[in-house]
Amino acid sequence: MTSTALLTDQYELTMLSAALKAGTAHRSCAFEVFARRLPDGRRYGIVAGTGRLLDALDDFRFGPEEIDALRPVLDDDTLGWLADYRFGGEIDGYREGELYFPGSPILTVRGGFAEAVILETLILSILNHDSAIASAAARMVNAAAGRPIIEMGGRRTHEQAAVASARAAYLAGVDLTSNLEAARTYGVPSAGTAAHAFTLSFAHADGSDERAAFAAQIDALGVGTTLLVDTYDITTGVKNAIEVAGPELGAVRIDSGDLGVLARQVRQQLDDLGATKTKIVVSGDLDEYAIASLRAEPVDLYGVGTSLVTGSGSPTAGMVYKLVEVDGVPVAKRSSRKESHGGAKRAVRAARSTGTIVEEILLRDSTRPEPGVAAAPIPGTDGLDVSELQIPLVRGGDRVEDLPTLEESRKHVAHGLVTLPWEGLGLSHGDPAIPTRYLNEPESR
Amino acid sequence: MTSTALLTDQYELTMLSAALKAGTAHRSCAFEVFARRLPDGRRYGIVAGTGRLLDALDDFRFGPEEIDALRPVLDDDTLGWLADYRFGGEIDGYREGELYFPGSPILTVRGGFAEAVILETLILSILNHDSAIASAAARMVNAAAGRPIIEMGGRRTHEQAAVASARAAYLAGVDLTSNLEAARTYGVPSAGTAAHAFTLSFAHADGSDERAAFAAQIDALGVGTTLLVDTYDITTGVKNAIEVAGPELGAVRIDSGDLGVLARQVRQQLDDLGATKTKIVVSGDLDEYAIASLRAEPVDLYGVGTSLVTGSGSPTAGMVYKLVEVDGVPVAKRSSRKESHGGAKRAVRAARSTGTIVEEILLRDSTRPEPGVAAAPIPGTDGLDVSELQIPLVRGGDRVEDLPTLEESRKHVAHGLVTLPWEGLGLSHGDPAIPTRYLNEPESR
């Protein structure tokens, strides 16, 4: 086990120290994770990272090495408390893959002030990163309109963020990744064949030798492989590819130039050569807008890199972790321009009988129905189906059993996107796809 | 040791497999890392990540677990080769903290095709991430004009990227981090006191109790601490802070609102209360532009989060890893719009006697002077000081001894920024601060 305990801001632990000394460390608290707004012009977000978070929580322990590292910063009482630390509270949250909107209580952490406050940084780092990637990826999946996408952006982001990005992209509906660690750790299907360097490596003093490179690749990987045809000249590259591989070649990849025009030319050339089943893979600075613009072109697979792993202009989801309740008293910061809603919340979503969602409603947590008991009707939802959004994730510090798998969460994303009102899937800047309504808000201290 | 070997794109290993089968795996190659352009409107970049990369390279080994994970993808010959893999080649590069410009050969990796090609993803992930953060951070340091900055953005990026971001920011001149793992792993000075949650945690049914929170914090952390004064009302917060702490209070922090106006009001109030030495810390959505706009205000420390760890709009440096030479033959991709310059390169920078840099010049690697031998004059540099930009990093697979420390590299950044022509430090969109000239370029295959 590698401890995740120091993936934390120093102020979490100095707050802890002060709370221990003041005797307030054990006050019963509820913290809530939410985003005040969606990234610029987005219409929905996708919750991602929950599975990774629960893993990281298991490893959030202060062993001897962590305690030693903190000695310059903290007093002995605090260090002693940390050495025994194990989160023992409760966590509820939106299931991984759920849609979210501004104000959605994506995660609610309940426990003593001290045990809950020190999880802030870890929780936000994971949810902010993974949700940003999944939210961007879902737009690309939607733009691809059923055609598959491979994530290949690992080289454009931090080496470990790359692994989490591949997972989040897969969750959101992307089909494949180039990242081998994501394949090992999370079982994301991986793929990949060759780069320009491979073709160039067959050059010699007399010139290039694309055909030798293609022959070597087919010899090693079989005729079903994907040959990269744009190292030198694309038309010659396609000709060489089919001459070497025959018309059963799996695919060709184009990684530069005007992809729409080139895809059409290459399709025509492949068909003329009898390679009617050879697929066309395109890559190179694709984002959701570029993918959408290629919808009418003969493209079989999109390779997406930079824009996927950097959240397509929004590399963080901007979620915050706010104390909303202390010993049953709703609390909220009241200073300018950062309005918060105090009190622990219950979240439901109302949908028409067709499945199309209409509204998200945030209520006092005290209205949450007991398991097996029918919920009281919610004002303004007559004739609508109302579903609870939070599920139990952690009880008594332990992960709840039988939480959804990554595959199940991936299906949940696909289902969720279908429930959006049609304008919610627009790629252009717009408002959140559905409004959020606060019901019977308490007054905060 | 945790292996870094699977932080790799699958195509690196399928290329390897094909090269082994074709007998080209041992061809002598040079790969170069460079950025075709700087991020949108930037005038310089800062090389960062070299230290992390050399650590990761030591751990790039395929142990039994990695081999097992690759079994579904690769043939036995390739797996056997990987099990014995250890990079045995040479790496030269710009020292960490060096300025770079479009085309700068930031890293040159020499070795057999197979041993060098499989490092692509790891090298790019680390350099692209860390250089993006350092390049943004340097602009913020410049905008702060001597005032200190604390990096506190860990919660807005992947939990491990947060650690690397804190390191890169420190390299670029940022003074402090909130990230405890960065303090442990890299010795970055850390700081932090309290969040709004701490003040809110003292609320009870009858109302809030900011004074009790302040008293508790001072009791635990001493009067030199920083009190967060904007949980409820800033004027009352400052009054409470000085009444509880006395005029020797270390600092107050403002985290929301119009920071310039509030800083002036709070400075006046503090001075009126006799707390003339109490400092003012501001935070909340700061980037280099916001920092620059506060230059005339009484601010003592900037806290920067999101924009720092996301590269202030440019979360990746866009560097590529390109094969430039095979068995001594220069090679380059020739397809549209991705012009590359083949052949391994030597890089020098010319400066006036005042230290101001004038031009970067890329020459054939064969012109590189032997150690201890004076270099031949370079055309067009009469009267200018010419310095070599690449240093040896790895020889025979081993890291060169006595490479610059993080502290030394941090000083190198500070020195480098001073050498820029004055317009090079502009925050507005502009061209690279100096041009790059290619001398005697070879024809590529």
- Tell me which residue has tokens 């079903």: A224
Helices (H), B187-246: 196-200, 210-221, 234-245
Average pLDDT over residues A154-162: 98
pLDDT-derived band at A440, boundaries 50, 70, 90: confident
pLDDT at position A336 is 59
Average pLDDT over residues B41-47: 96
Average pLDDT over residues A268-296: 97
What's the gap in Å between the CA of A196 and the closest CA on chain B?
7
Q: How many CA atoms lie within 13 A of B417 on its CB side?
A: 23
Chain A contact for B154, CB < 8 A? yes
pLDDT at position B338 is 54
Asked if A331 and B159 come within 8 Å (Cβ–Cβ), the reply is no
Average pLDDT over residues B345-373: 94
Average pLDDT over residues A366-382: 89
pLDDT at position A443 is 86
What's the gap in Å between the CA of A203 and the closest CA on chain B?
6
What is the spatial distance between Cα B75 and Cα B14, in angstroms, rounded to a whole number? Answer: 9
Asked if A180 and B9 come within 8 Å (Cβ–Cβ), the reply is yes
Partners of residue B280 on adjacent β-strands: B252
Q: Is A130 helix (H, G, I), strand (E, B) or coil?
A: helix
CB B97 within 8 A of CB B418: no
pLDDT digits (tens, 9 = 90+) for B108-146: 999 999 999 999 999 999 999 999 999 999 999 999 999
Average pLDDT over residues B232-239: 96
Average pLDDT over residues B161-180: 98
Of A108, A135, A160, A158, the closest CA to residue A4 belongs to: A160
Backbone φ, ψ for residue A311 (5° rounding): 70, 20
Write the DSSP string, B115-162. HHHTTHHHHHHHHHHHHHHHHHHHHHHHHHTT--EEE--GGGS-HHHH
pLDDT digits (tens, 9 = 90+) for A142-154: 999 999 999 999 9
Mean pLDDT across chain A, nearest whole number? 96
What is the spatial distance between Cα B140 and Cα B146, in angstroms, rounded to a whole number? Answer: 10
Percentage of chain A beyond pLDDT 70 is 99
pLDDT-derived band at B440, boundaries 50, 70, 90: confident
pLDDT-derived band at A287, boundaries 50, 70, 90: very high
**Residues written for chain B:** 445
Mean pLDDT across chain B, nearest whole number? 96
Instruction: Please give the order of strands across the beta sheet that includes A176-177.
Output: A176-177, A149-151, A301-304, A279-283, A251-254, A226-228
Contacts of B331 in chain A (CB under 8 A): 200-201, 203, 208
| Backbone torsion region of residue A183, taken as left when φ is above 0, otherwise alpha when ψ lies between -120 and 50, otherwise beta | alpha
Chain B contact for A69, CB < 8 A? yes
Query: Which residues are CB-contacts of A286 (< 8 A; sequence separation ≥ 6)?
Result: A140, A259, A302, A303, A304, A305, A307
pLDDT digits (tens, 9 = 90+) for A41-50: 899 999 999 9
ipTM over 0.85: yes
pLDDT at position A41 is 87
Asked if B15 and A257 come within 8 Å (Cβ–Cβ), the reply is no
What is the spatial distance between Cα B123 and Cα B8, in angstroms, rounded to a whole number? Answer: 10
CB A401 within 8 A of CB A325: no
What's the gap in Å between the CA of B129 and the closest CA on chain A?
5
Asked if A15 and B163 come within 8 Å (Cβ–Cβ), the reply is no
pLDDT at position A339 is 63
pLDDT at position B296 is 96
pLDDT at position A409 is 98
Tell me which chain B residue has its CA closest to the CA of residue A2. B2
Chain A contact for B205, CB < 8 A? yes
pLDDT digits (tens, 9 = 90+) for B368-406: 888 788 888 999 999 999 999 999 999 999 999 999 999
Chain A contact for B31, CB < 8 A? yes
Average pLDDT over residues A397-419: 97
pLDDT at position B143 is 97
pLDDT-derived band at B1, boundaries 50, 70, 90: low
CA distances from residue A112 to A9, A109, A118, B207, B210 in whole angstroms, order as listed: 19, 10, 11, 20, 20
Other residues' Cβ atoms within 10 Å of the Cβ of residue B431: 13
Instruction: Extract the runs of DSSP E, i.e. beta strands, from B352-411.
Output: 357-364, 385-388, 390-395, 398-399
Contacts of B56 in chain A (CB under 8 A): 159
pLDDT digits (tens, 9 = 90+) for A190-215: 999 999 999 999 999 999 999 999 99
pLDDT at position A334 is 81
Chain A contact for B372, CB < 8 A? no
Of B46, B16, B40, B186, the closest CA to residue B118 belongs to: B16
What is the maximum span of chain A, computed from C-alpha positions, in angstroms? 81
Tokens representing A46? 């996708």
Average pLDDT over residues A337-359: 90
pLDDT digits (tens, 9 = 90+) for B287-334: 999 999 999 999 999 999 999 999 999 999 999 999 999 999 999 988
Tokens representing A56? 């990281």
pLDDT digits (tens, 9 = 90+) for A250-261: 999 999 999 999
pLDDT-derived band at A111, boundaries 50, 70, 90: very high
Q: How many CA atoms lie within 13 A of A86 on its CB side?
A: 9
Strand B319-326 relative to strand B28-35, pairing: antiparallel
Domains in chain B with CATH codes: 10-133+314-438 (3.20.140.10), 134-313 (3.20.20.70)
Tokens representing A33? 């994770």
Burial level of A159, CB count in 10 A (0-12/13-18/19+)?
buried
pLDDT at position A168 is 98
Per-residue H/E/C for A243-274: HHHCCCCCEEEECCCCHHHHHHHHHHHHHHCC
Other residues' Cβ atoms within 10 Å of the Cβ of residue A291: 25
pLDDT at position A337 is 54
Average pLDDT over residues B416-430: 94
CB A119 within 8 A of CB A89: no
Instruction: Extract the runs of DSSP E, i.e. beta strands, from A327-409.
Output: 329-330, 345-351, 357-364, 385-388, 390-395, 398-399
Least CB-CB distance to B24: which of A121, A202, A230?
Answer: A202
Asked whether residue A364 carries a pLDDT value surpassing 60, the answer given is yes
Tokens representing B301? 């420390």
Asked if B9 and A256 come within 8 Å (Cβ–Cβ), the reply is no
Asked if A335 and B190 come within 8 Å (Cβ–Cβ), the reply is no
Asked whether residue A371 carries a pLDDT value surpassing 90, the answer given is no
Its pTM surpasses 0.90: yes
Tokens representing A19? 């709370």
Least CB-CB distance to B191: which of A10, A157, A234?
Answer: A10
DSSP tag of B322: E
pLDDT-derived band at A227, boundaries 50, 70, 90: very high
pLDDT at position B337 is 54
Contacts of A122 in chain B (CB under 8 A): 159
